[in-house]
Amino acid sequence: MTIEDKLVRNYDAIKQALRTRNYTVSDYKSISYGIQFTISRNKRSGVIRLFQNKKGNVTIDFSQLRDSLIEDEIRPLMSNEIKSDKKQGKSRMSHKLPIIGTDESGKGDYFGPLVSAAVYVDEHSAKLLELEGVKDSKKLNDKKNVKLAEKIMTICKNRYSIIEISPEKYNDLYDRFVGEKKNLNNLLAWGHAKAIEELLGKVECNNAMADQFADERYILSKLQEKGRKLNLIQMHRAEENIAVAAASILARARFLQKLSKLSSEYGIELPKGASINVINTAKRIIAGHGKDALRKIAKVHFKTTKEVRKTS
């Protein structure tokens, strides 16, 4: 584990604790030998820094906070979180079970759908998933992702949900969200909320975890519209949690399957990502199927589309 990994883990625990006191906590940024972030409440704010010494101990630097009232209130709370991390070796919130983990796949891929998945994991299924080698899908090759997805669906039978947003629907939703002055993070949150909502129709669970990508209030508001109440934990590198890792694998496997299906339908292998190979493939698609075909197989708001249409 790197120094930053440990600091970020402490940051996530501290962020959750401060939110219980109605503090707003910014994303962190790396600094020399540590990380820093801003906290605020009632028009009062300040900067906090976390450092790790040579012995591996994490220390809190309040020197940039410059607000004694805030410091007096949060110092015991934050120090307690650091102590808890030393005892347990990880954020207290990171492996709280049972829990629903959510993740998505396809947001960085020009071709193919956006897929969100949610998985319910308890003590029993967590052990089985760990034995199967479940981990963040980004650390696995395509073949392993698909194989592990089958294992997860067996172990967590009737305790998972997968929401697939086809390229065409994705483009319609994106246009709608932009018209409402929302952005991609809102669309991602919409997918996560749909996956959680569907899963809560199968299981009862009070806790869920997702990667830190947007304001959690959007996900929660979507669930509350359906009368759902949930303690949602958002943290950096959430895929370290077994439930989120399982969700990431299910989402990636479905994305790969649908990308393969689209490739067969259009008679050309659609590459992943958004590289020069993707641009050249998109040009071939337009040449063979017309410009309107892109909206059915690609996320057209990507800058890739402008590059494709320059010479098409």
Full residue range of the structural domain in which residue 53 is found: 3-88
Give a yes or no: residue 305 inside a domain. yes
**Does one domain contain both 187 and 228?**
yes
**Does one domain contain both 237 and 118?**
yes
DSSP 31-46: ETTEEEEEEEETTEEE
**Does one domain contain both 108 and 234?**
yes
Q: Is the pTM of this model over 0.75?
A: no
The domain boundary residue, chosen from 88, 116, 139: 88
**Does one domain contain both 20 and 156?**
no
**Does one domain contain both 232 and 289?**
no
User: Buried (b) or exposed (e) across 276-295, using 16+ Cβ within 10 A?
Assistant: eebbebbbebbeeeeeeebe
- Give the chain's domain count: 3
**Does one domain contain both 68 and 9?**
yes
Q: Are 202 and 100 in contact (CB under 8 A)?
A: no
Give a yes or no: residue 93 inside a domain. no
- Residue where the block lists tokens 């991609």: 184
**Does one domain contain both 72 and 119?**
no
The domain boundary residue, chosen from 25, 57, 88: 88
**Does one domain contain both 71 and 104?**
no
**Does one domain contain both 75 and 117?**
no
**Does one domain contain both 146 and 192?**
yes
Give a yes or no: residue 94 inside a domain. no
The domain boundary residue, chosen from 61, 88, 115: 88
Give a yes or no: residue 192 inside a domain. yes
Give a yes or no: residue 65 inside a domain. yes
**Does one domain contain both 56 and 124?**
no
DSSP 251-270: HHHHHHHHHHHHHHHHTS--
Q: Which of 244, 208, 216 is nearest to 117 (CA)?
A: 244
- Residue where the block lists tokens 């949690």: 241
**Does one domain contain both 56 and 103?**
no
Domain of 106, CATH number, reads 3.30.420.10
Q: Tens place of pLDDT for every residue, the chain, 312 residues?
A: 455 677 888 888 888 778 878 889 999 999 888 899 999 988 889 999 998 877 778 888 888 888 877 888 888 877 766 665 554 444 333 457 899 999 999 999 999 999 999 999 998 999 899 889 898 888 899 999 999 999 999 999 999 999 999 999 999 999 998 998 888 888 888 899 999 999 999 999 988 988 876 556 777 777 766 657 788 887 777 788 899 999 999 999 999 999 999 999 999 999 999 889 999 999 999 999 998 999 999 999 999 998 888 765
